[in-house]
Amino acid sequence: MSKDKDKEKKREQQAAEEAAEAENAKVNEAAEQAEPAQDAGDAPAADEEQAAEDAASTDAKIAEAAVADMKQRYMRLQADFANFKKRTAGEKLQISEVVKMEVLQNVLPVVDNFERALQVPQDKLTDDLKSFVDGYEMIYKQLMTVLEKEGVVKIDAVGKPFDPNYHQAVMRVASDEYDNDVVVEVLQEGYLLGDKTLRPAMVKVAFNG
């Protein structure tokens, strides 16, 4: 009777072991089936991440190109503005010089009149006229001081070779003192403004044949 019980226990134990093995086999099979599914789910996620990285890299390159373009435009704008300032400054200087020369040229006839008035022989003047001429001379000196401050100077002509840039010959005369084409006498003073001729000197030039 005890032998039968032992056999029955063995059969039950063997059946339990077989059932456990079968259950383990099911679990393993389920795990194997789940792993490919998980791998399949990871692949789209990796593709999406790579696509996002590529898009970010493209956006960064576009932004860098835009910044470089803006820098070039800014540098060109700065250069254009600097050239504009130089050009306008030069134009203003030219205009101011032209206006200055025109004003001074209009003043020169006044200077001529002062000089003519002061050429009157002093011994022929009465006391009243002398005081009047003295006032003229004082004003003349003040006027010449103002012109000198503006850069106006007389052209030194007598004894100099004739130069059409500085002299205007109105007469040719014989001279024992000077050679041909040398300025003998100044009929009207000439003036320079810096290195430019404000008015040429009106002169007589030596000509000895």
DSSP result, 71-122 = HHHHHHHHHHHHHHHHHHHHHHHHHHHHHHHHHHHHHHHHHHHHHHHHTS-G
Give pLDDT tens digits along the chain (209 positions). 555 656 666 676 776 667 667 666 665 665 566 555 444 455 566 677 777 777 777 878 888 888 888 888 888 888 888 888 888 888 887 787 888 889 999 999 999 998 988 887 877 778 777 888 888 899 999 999 999 999 999 999 999 999 999 999 999 999 989 999 999 999 999 999 988 999 999 999 999 87
**Residue 205 has what pLDDT?**
96
This prediction has a pTM of: 0.57
Length of the chain: 209
The two structure tokens encoding residue 185: 């006498």
What burial class does residue 155 get, using C-beta atoms within 10 Å of its C-beta: 0-12 exposed, 13-18 middle, 19+ buried? buried
By DSSP bridging, strand 201-206 and strand 167-173 are: parallel
CB 192 within 8 A of CB 150: no
Task: Output the CA torsion sign for 202, 192, 153, 157.
Answer: negative
